[in-house]
Every structure is written in C-alpha cells, then in structure tokens.
C-alpha cells in the first residue's frame, strides 16, 4: 500500500540534506569581488607601465600582493560585448551570431538571453549572496504604453512606460543578482540617465540633460557626454563614488546579517570612459591632467575596497579581481600622448575598437591573501571570459558543456601551480568593434579582416598613429607577436601554412559552439593553500 507520509518525509530529508550540503560548502567558499574598469588601457597602471605619467599605488600594491597577468585580453574591443563575456563566460557571437554594439538610450533586449547561465547564477547556487553596482550596459527591455518594445535612440526615452517596463524582465535581478544598483548604459555618456535599483526606477527620465552644465576639464575632456534625458538629481560627477558606496553598503549589510554565507560583488566603474569627469576631491590629484586624475580616483576606490575587507576582518577570506573591458579611447590616447607623454595603450598597436593588441590587451590582477602567492607576474594568455570558469573552480563546480563555452580555468595559475611554459589556453578568441575575429595560438595571431577592425586611421586625429601596411592586398593579417609585438609585419602570404591552420581553427571554434574544452573539472584546492601573509 502506498505510504504517502513516508514518501514526503523521505523527500524532506533529502531537501534538508541538500540544503545542509550547500550551507557547508558555502562556509568554505571565499567572498569574491570583481572590480571592472572601463576603457582602461594596458599602459594606464604604473605596475604595467614604468613610464606612466602618474602612479597608481593601490593597484600596484594589489598586484604586488597577488598576481598580475601581462597577456590578458578583453573579449571585445567595446564595452557591451565585453560585459556579456564577463557575465556569461562567452564571446558575444554566441548571443548575436556575430558582433555586438554598445547600447544607447532604451536599447535592448539584453545580450544575456533567457537560459544563458551567468556567473552570478552559478554562485547563487553555491550559497552566495550576489550584487552588482554601477554600469550594466548589456541591454535592457523597455516598453511603451502600448506594450511595444522600444529600441535605442534618445527620444525613445520619453516613451518608456515604467509600470509596464519594471521590474525589468532582463535586468541584473533576473540574471542572478540578489541586489543591484545600476545604470542602463554608460553612466556619463549614453542616455538614458537613470538609476535602476533592484529592477525598479525610482525617478524616471523626465529632464533634458545639457552637457554644458557640467565641468569641462582642460577645455576638452567633457567630450562624449551626450545630451539626452535624465532623471531629476542624476549625478554625473560623483557616479563612481556612489557605486562604491552602494557596494560598501551591500558588503557591510551582508556581513552584519548573514556572516555565515559568502558574497559576490561586482563594482562596475565607468573609469576611464569618456567624458573625463573626476569627482571634485580628485581634481589636480596628479600632474598629468584630468584623465590621470580620473584614473587616480579609480585607484583610490580600489584601495577603499581593499581597506574595507581588512576593516571587516575578511581580508584572507576574500578574492578580489581587477580587470578592464577594452583598450583606451582614441582621443584619450591622442591627448595623453601629446600632452603628457603617456601611452594608455602601453606600447601596443591600436586602441579601443581595434583588433590589434592595444584594443583588447588589458590589465588583469588577482589578490587572495593566503591562497594566491604574492609578487607573481604571469605571461599566461587569458581572457575576461575565463573569470567564470576560474570562479567555478574556486567553489568546486564542474561546469556543464553548454555553460561558459569560451571560459578556461586560470585558478592553477593564480595559485602558482601552473608551469609558465605550459599554456592553459591552446587558443584565444577576441572580437573587434565590427564583430570581426582575432585568434591567438601561442605567439601567433591571425586577424580575419583587413585594417584595424574598428577605427578609421585616415581621419585627421588618427593619421599619425597609422602604420603602413606591408601587404595591403592581403584579406587578413598574420603576426608573430614574439618577434613582432607591434604587429607591423603581416605574414599572411609568407607563412601560408600557419595562416591556413589558424583560419581552419577559427572556423572550427565558431561552428562548434565553444572554444573551451569539454568535461571541465575544477582544480582541487584542498592542498594548495598558502600560509597567510598576516
């Protein structure tokens, strides 16, 4: 005879056991903080650029206390596709079929489609409380009063029906974040200018923004602050201070009310995106102009994050990652080179939007006292997409083959257990502004397009940075970065076998649905812990 009570009791016991297992695992997991910079180039930190026109002492300290990667790359050379890569562990063409632009106005829907597993969802399932604060910019769905989805465009901001649009169907809280305080696009560049807290907009965009109301440092650094619609009281100058305070409040509240659980926080800054508008307390902080002051502000905020976890007594229990979404903006490179003899690209060819190294080679630093040995500098090839698989390894999760399909586990490198002569990655994909592909294999790099893949070097402010093409008739580009780091000698025709090999590999990785290996197993951490530095 069917014993319903017995079955129910057995089911409840299983549920309780699973919950206890998750709680037990969560107690062993570190807190995780990702600080994500915006348009920060390889040469913008003094720990990467000994000739920088200013210093970044707190980021230099973070690098000295952990590991600094010198061959790290953003998934794309513009922000929205790279942010998709951070959250999904995938290249943007997995979502769109090719490339992906940066959203403006009420642009959407989200690149993070329903069913796309995010790093936040993965950590939630491991008992983490998750939060994101700052620039979101992976697309959002907004609707007018008729229930029709709105596209981008500044005037469409006035057509939003906030009751029909919120809580946002594809905002952070629908993609794995328990708490969120974000702007839909770049906070100071791309209208609409509103704050979104946990999927709701407290103050709709109802006022016209006039860029002339804002400071114009040096007479030019306000460039790219678009006129558009803003909510009353929207603060352009103190945006990143606000995002830090929201992050701080999330962490402190979490530690006060649920100290037995780990947290995952993303501080998504807008520095050093245009316009350059450092908060008042940072004006004149350096002798290298407003953009250097802006980067100084970022450095101070990173320091405040590190100080916060020490004050809370969780320094050794917290993994902090620092990364950037692409290379530096064109006019920023131009002005910093001319005015201050500072190269935001750090000597690499190209800048934001370009498929050359300067467009996607970026800083990447990791710090976890007692686990990541200090003073490490790694030349391992890595991508922002790797953060997903690395964090999965940190919490002991074996990723299914349909998740984070362009993500490789860099935890062994961070812990000092990977032979530097053995690359974790057999290859690496990046995409430029137009969605065109670049692929790396060891020192070899193939660009599946002519020219930069992004910027037009025939325009006046770019001409002086143009490098004559030695093979102008080649439909693509092939470089050996070991002997030609400046990407000046196109070997498309002279190294035909290697070019065909990389073209075939690129076609395979595009069609297979993944570039990451299958059957990924998390790196075992039990015997790898390092003595605490304290």
| Span 414-468, pLDDT tens digits | 999 999 999 999 999 999 999 999 999 999 999 999 999 999 999 999 999 999 9
Q: Where are the domains of the chain?
A: 34-512
Architecture (CATH level 2) of domain 34-512: 3-Layer(aba) Sandwich (3.40)
| Residue 8 pLDDT class (50, 70, 90 cuts) | low
pLDDT, position 142: 98
Q: What is the SS3 assignment for 195-240?
A: CEECCECCCCCCEEECHHHCCCHHHCCCCCCCCEEECCCCCCCCHH
Average pLDDT, the chain: 93
Bridge partners, 208 (sequence order): 229
pLDDT, position 152: 87
* Residue 505 · residue 441 · CB < 8 Å: yes
| Span 104-124, pLDDT tens digits | 999 999 999 999 999 999 999
| Residue 303 burial by Cβ neighbours in a 10 Å radius (0-12, 13-18, 19+) | middle
* Residue 336 · residue 369 · CB < 8 Å: no
- Reported pTM: 0.93
pLDDT, position 23: 41
Query: How far lies 423's CA from each of 70, 188, 418, 503, 506, in Å?
Result: 13, 39, 8, 20, 18
d(CA 268, CA 271): 9
Provide mean pLDDT across the span 376-388: 98
* Residue 476 · residue 444 · CB < 8 Å: no
pLDDT, position 20: 42
Provide mean pLDDT across the span 112-138: 98
| Span 183-194, pLDDT tens digits | 999 999 998 999
Q: What count of other Cβ atoms lies within 10 Å of the Cβ of residue 314? A: 17
pLDDT, position 472: 94
User: Using alpha carbons only, what angle is made at residue 229 by residues 224 and 235, rounded to the nearest 5 degrees?
Assistant: 70
Query: How far lies 177's CA from each of 20, 32, 181, 228, in Å?
Result: 22, 13, 10, 28
pLDDT, position 375: 98
pLDDT, position 155: 87
d(CA 170, CA 110): 6
User: Using alpha carbons only, what angle is made at residue 74 by residues 70 and 77, rounded to the nearest 5 degrees?
Assistant: 125
């Amino acid at each position: 005879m069917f014993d319903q009570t017995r079955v129910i009791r057995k089911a409840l016991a299983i549920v309780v056991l699973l919950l206890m297992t998750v709680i037990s695992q969560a107690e062993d997991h570190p807190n995780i903080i990702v600080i994500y910079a915006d348009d920060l180039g390889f040469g913008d930190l003094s720990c990467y650029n000994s000739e920088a026109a200013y210093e970044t002492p707190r980021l230099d300290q973070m690098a000295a206390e952990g590991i600094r990667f010198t061959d790290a790359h953003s998934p794309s050379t513009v922000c929205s596709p790279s942010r998709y890569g951070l959250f999904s562990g995938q290249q943007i063409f997995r979502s769109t079929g090719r490339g992906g632009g940066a959203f403006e106005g009420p642009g959407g829907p989200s690149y993070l489609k329903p069913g796309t597993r995010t790093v936040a969802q993965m950590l939630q399932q491991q008992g983490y409380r998750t939060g994101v604060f700052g620039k979101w910019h992976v697309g959002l769905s907004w609707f007018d009063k008729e229930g029709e989805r709105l596209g981008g465009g500044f005037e469409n901001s006035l057509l939003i029906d906030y009751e029909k649009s919120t809580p946002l169907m594809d905002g952070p809280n629908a993609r794995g974040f328990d708490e969120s305080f974000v702007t839909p696009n770049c906070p100071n560049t791309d209208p609409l200018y509103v704050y979104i807290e946990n999927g709701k907009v407290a103050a709709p965009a109802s006022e016209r923004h006039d860029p002339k109301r804002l400071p114009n440092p040096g007479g030019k650094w306000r460039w790219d602050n678009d006129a558009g619609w803003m909510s009353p009281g929207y603060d352009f100058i103190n945006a990143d201070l606000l995002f830090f305070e929201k992050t701080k409040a999330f962490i402190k509240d979490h530690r006060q009310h649920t100290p037995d659980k780990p947290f995952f926080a993303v501080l998504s800054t807008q520095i050093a995106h245009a316009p350059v508008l450092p908060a008042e307390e940072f004006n004149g902080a350096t002798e290298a102009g407003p953009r250097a002051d802006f980067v100084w502000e970022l450095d101070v905020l990173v320091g405040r994050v590190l100080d916060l976890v020490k004050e809370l007594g969780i320094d050794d229990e917290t993994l902090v990652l620092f990364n950037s979404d692409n290379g530096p903006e064109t006019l920023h490179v131009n002005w910093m080179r001319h005015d201050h003899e500072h190269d935001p690209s750090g000597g690499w060819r190209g800048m934001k939007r370009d498929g050359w190294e300067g467009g996607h080679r970026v800083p990447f630093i990791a710090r976890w006292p007692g686990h990541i040995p200090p003073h490490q500098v790694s030349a391992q090839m890595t991508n922002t997409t790797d953060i997903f698989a690395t964090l999965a390894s940190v919490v002991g999760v074996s990723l299914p083959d349909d998740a984070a399909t362009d993500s490789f586990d860099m935890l062994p490198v961070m812990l000092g257990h990977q032979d530097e002569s053995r690359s974790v990655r057999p290859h690496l994909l990046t995409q430029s502004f137009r969605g065109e592909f670049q692929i790396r294999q060891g020192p070899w790099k193939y660009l599946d397009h002519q020219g930069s893949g992004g910027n037009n070097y025939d325009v006046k402010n770019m001409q002086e940075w143009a490098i004559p093409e030695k093979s102008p008739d080649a439909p693509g580009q092939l470089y050996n970065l070991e002997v030609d780091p400046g990407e000046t000698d196109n070997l498309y025709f002279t190294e035909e076998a290697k070019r065909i090999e990389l073209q075939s590999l690129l076609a395979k990785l595009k069609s297979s649905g993944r570039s990451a290996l299958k059957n990924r197993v998390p790196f075992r951490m039990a015997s790898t812990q390092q003595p605490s530095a304290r």
